[in-house]
Amino acid sequence: MQLPLGFRYAGVACGIKASGKKDLAIISTDTPAICAGVYTQNIVRATSIDWNRRMTPCDSFRALVVNSGNANACTGFDGIKNNQTMACEVANHLDTEPANVGVLSTGIIGVQLPMKEVIAGIDAATTALSAEEENFTAASVAITTTDKSPKTNHLTYNIDGDQVRISAMAKGAGMIGPKMATMLAVVMTDAALTPTVAQSILKTANDKSFNRISVEGHMSTNDAVMLIASGKSKAKLDSAALILQLTSFITNTCIDLAKQIPADGEGATHLIEIVVNGAKHDGDADRIARTIANSALVKTAITGGDPNWGRIVSAAGYAGADIDADAISLKINGHLLFEQGQPVSFNPRQVSIAIAENFETKIELTVGGGAGQSNHWTSDLTVDYVRFNSEYTT
Amino acid sequence: MQLPLGFRYAGVACGIKASGKKDLAIISTDTPAICAGVYTQNIVRATSIDWNRRMTPCDSFRALVVNSGNANACTGFDGIKNNQTMACEVANHLDTEPANVGVLSTGIIGVQLPMKEVIAGIDAATTALSAEEENFTAASVAITTTDKSPKTNHLTYNIDGDQVRISAMAKGAGMIGPKMATMLAVVMTDAALTPTVAQSILKTANDKSFNRISVEGHMSTNDAVMLIASGKSKAKLDSAALILQLTSFITNTCIDLAKQIPADGEGATHLIEIVVNGAKHDGDADRIARTIANSALVKTAITGGDPNWGRIVSAAGYAGADIDADAISLKINGHLLFEQGQPVSFNPRQVSIAIAENFETKIELTVGGGAGQSNHWTSDLTVDYVRFNSEYTT
């Protein structure tokens, strides 16, 4: 693994989490860098989302501070002030302006951050900043909440002998007790980009990765995906083809990372991929894939190893896409179950075993002869998911 | 209870259900009657839906045949023929045209109806037709699938001393194993209406009742609500005010019946009512109520007696409605949890008990100062729901 040049990392425990686990991360760049961001569309959103929206895209980025354990959402004026304080503290330590410091938060909502602890944590983290792999790992742990493990991905490639390095970390959408789901991801590269190009690459990558996963379809107050480009690679990205190549590598990095999130969903026993082909346009295909992914009946069928084509086909039928019911065909893990609007004869036991014995289930739906396609990843819905999310003790 | 004049009922077991339970119902009128219908919007729909869509609204209705245990959906040309045969058999027995006979089916999809049994069942049911209460009850049982009990409702009122009688039956959206969810309801009245007025009354009533319930948001291939008016009441509905009064009574009958469906949802331990006020228009309010009702995180919170305002408020935020986050206030069972975009201090244990100790939970959300309002009923999401829907043995 080769981390992108020009970055430093730190991950510390400052006391936001009662468990004493790591809860504050800083990612900084040695010199002003490019930063892009895409954010939750929820109207009820955290103050950090508004803060970062004002910052990105930019070419003066110096640091991102991420705290876990508290989302600083629905916290009013004090919450806004605390978010500013976080940016100011980091800026003071790194000798830059607060406007060059991004902030991300995840965790419980409606509760004020313990600012004394947060400020001490920022002090410790800025002191600890280094380019070492163990610090990258510490940061990737510090951004998690109920994730079973940190989620990271790395990719390196050459342009005329000069390396471009991409590293990324994410946290998943696990939620227990009164906490909220939040998906955060930060992609770092040492490629030299402009803010506009970085924003465009991130939008493309996000649309094909983090925007195509769901655990239960609940959009969070704090979801954010950031791309930071230090420009320290010597590789020259001086053609559209090279930008497209980088876009493709960053997209693949994000897809791999995104799939780790539903795979680690609470109580998940299957990662389900839904592939839709033949729609009139990609928007229709996306609507169908998303509707199937969010169907509790489809998810519970996969949990039980049930090759229940009826639940899948009927979910496609109410997705709001312009399709012909007689043109629908369906495969699960390669087995044809439904063809041109008609059920076909198949061995249910064989298909059931194919679902039960593999962690990944692939649902392939063809809905006509159009060029529209999309895919989506989700987790199944298990008794454990309900147990986790309905547990509550006051 | 006074059943509407001019109707006869029968409910028999003909062998569609392996259990030997009642599975075929007929509701007939003594003379040609008014019939209106509203149907599933799913593109993947049963042949019976297309059949009834062609029939309603009409003034020549004579009978409705309903089978349970088999939805006759995704069954191709043979399915269309079998549906026609059902209408023809009933028409022959009642000396009318097939075009005056409605058909409803519910149950497993993708499997052909056992027509020998169905034809024998139609023979037995037409012979058994009577206006007796026990026959009404038999019909209401015969339309059910996984419902814990039949769902019926009755209402009688006077216009200048002449009675108008309304009786209704429904089946719920319970689904186990490879079967599909289907909601069916039939409303009967002896009021004298025109087809146009009947259709308009049914649309109004349905929009405020069956269209506002969900168990898991999965729209079925076979959902249908029918209104049959025999015209045998002597009451004169000769003013707009009297039509509005009847609309209101039929709507209330449907609301009561509709609420019985999520209350009887698989594994449900709570009936949840979501009331949204202050939206810019009713459409926005409806979008918010529906999004909250379909949130697995909200449903599991209620299961666990968790006064988790964050899950509710954030679901409102991503509903796609034009609202201001700072204008949102929330009450659960009368307890104020969130006001004008800010969490308020409350006793979580007290609210938790208020949820846990009542079967009905009322979520009241105000999203601004607009006139838009809506409400929605749903069931909670329990470990038993997942158990039921993921059980599968080949």
Strand pairing of A213-214 and A372-379?
parallel
Q: How many contacts (CB atoms, under 8 Å) link A and B? A: 201
Nearest CB to B306 within list A178, A295, A381: A178
CB-CB: which of B43, B110, B382 is closest to A310?
B110
Inter-residue contact B157 to B163 (CB < 8 Å):
yes
For residue B177, the chain A residues in CB contact (below 8 A) are: 306
Q: Can you give the pLDDT at residue A218? A: 73
Instruction: Answer yes or no: are the C-beta atoms of B10 and B128 closer than 8 Å.
Output: yes
Contacts of B301 in chain A (CB under 8 A): 389-390, 392
Q: Per-residue pLDDT for chain B (394 aa), expressed as one digit of tens each? A: 899 999 999 999 999 999 999 999 999 999 999 999 999 999 999 999 999 999 999 999 999 999 999 999 999 999 999 999 999 999 999 999 999 999 999 988 889 999 999 999 999 999 999 999 999 999 999 999 888 889 999 999 999 999 999 999 999 865 433 344 689 999 999 999 999 999 999 999 999 999 999 876 677 899 999 999 999 999 999 999 999 999 999 999 999 999 998 888 778 899 999 999 999 999 999 999 999 998 888 999 999 999 999 999 999 999 999 999 999 999 999 999 999 999 999 999 999 999 999 999 999 999 999 999 999 999 998 888 888 777 765 4
Q: Show which of residues 179-198 on chain B sit within 8 Å of chain A, judged by CB atoms.
A: 180-181
Question: Mean of the per-residue pLDDT values for chain A?
Answer: 93
A75-114 residues touching B, CB cutoff 8 A: 76, 108-111
For A51-64, b where at least 16 C-beta lie within 10 A, e where not — what string?
bbeebbbbbebbbb
Structure confidence by residue, pLDDT tens digits, A374-391: 999 999 988 888 887 777
What chain A residue is nearest to B352 in terms of C-alpha separation? A394
pLDDT for B109 equals 86
> A121 pLDDT exceeds 90?
yes
| B73 interaction partners in chain A (CB closer than 8 Å) | 310
Contact residues, chain B, for A343 at CB < 8 Å: 74, 110-111
Give the pLDDT score at A176: 34
Taking the CA of residue A34 and the nearest CA in chain B, the distance in Å comes to 30
Work out whether strand B224-229 and strand B184-189 pair parallel, antiparallel, or are unpaired: parallel
**Nearest-5° angle of CA A162, CA A167, CA A169?**
175
Residue B327: Cβ-neighbour burial (10 angstroms; 0-12, 13-18, 19+)? middle
Structural domains in chain B plus CATH codes: 7-263 (3.60.70.12), 271-390 (3.10.20.340)
Cα–Cα distance for residue pair B271/B299, rounded to 1 Å: 10
Q: Looking at the predicted structure, is the pLDDT value of residue A174 above 80? A: no
Residue from B40, B56, B152, B182 carrying the catalytic annotation: B182
Q: Which of residues 126-165 of B touch A (CB under 8 A)?
A: none
In SS3 terms, B140-208 reads as HHHCCCCCCCCEEEEEEEEECCEEEEEEEEEECCCCCCCECCCCEEEEEECCCCCHHHHHHHHHHHHHC
CB contact under 8 A, B341 and A315: no
Minimum-distance CB partner of B317 among A42, A381, A392: A42
Across the interface, whether the CB atoms of B181 and A297 are under 8 A apart is answered yes
Whether residue A221 and residue B317 make contact (CB cut-off 8 A), yes or no, is yes
Residue A173 binned pLDDT confidence (cut-offs 50, 70, 90) = low
pTM of the model as a whole: 0.88
Distance set, CA B318 to CA A307, B118, B324 (Å):
32, 47, 12
How far apart are the CA of B239 and the nearest CA of chain A, in angstroms?
39
Tell which B residues from 228 to 287 touch A, by Cβ distance under 8 Å: none
Global ipTM: 0.85
Rounded to 5°, the CA angle A253-A255-A261 comes to: 110
CA distance A30 to B256: 66
Nearest to A188 by CA among A230, A128, A249: A230
- Widest distance between CA atoms in chain A: 69
What confidence tier does A79 reach under pLDDT thresholds 50, 70, 90?
A: very high
* Cα of B342 to nearest chain A Cα, Å: 6
Contact B93, B122 (CB under 8 A): yes
Residues of A in contact with B110 (CB under 8 A): 309-310, 338, 343
Q: Give me the active site residues of A, please.
A: 182
Nearest to B292 by CA among B316, B325, B257, B259: B316
* Cβ neighbours of B352 in A, within 8 Å: 392, 394
Q: Does B344 touch chain A (CB under 8 A)?
A: no
Measured distance CA(B115)–CA(B4) in Å, rounded? 32
- The CA radius of gyration of chain A, in Å to the nearest whole number, is 22
The per-residue pLDDT for B157 is 97
Residue A220 banded pLDDT, cuts 50, 70, 90: confident
Question: What whole-number distance in Å separates Cα of residue A58 and Cα of residue A101?
Answer: 11
Q: Do A221 and B391 touch (CB under 8 A)?
A: no
pLDDT digits (tens, 9 = 90+) for A238-286: 999 999 999 999 999 999 999 998 888 878 899 999 999 999 999 999 9
Distance (Å) from the alpha carbon of B145 to chain A's nearest alpha carbon: 17
CA distance A189 to A251: 13
Q: How close, in Å, is residue B147 to chain A by CA atoms?
A: 17
Select from B323, B355, B392 the residue whose CB has the most chain A CBs within 10 Å, as the one to mutate to test that interface: B392
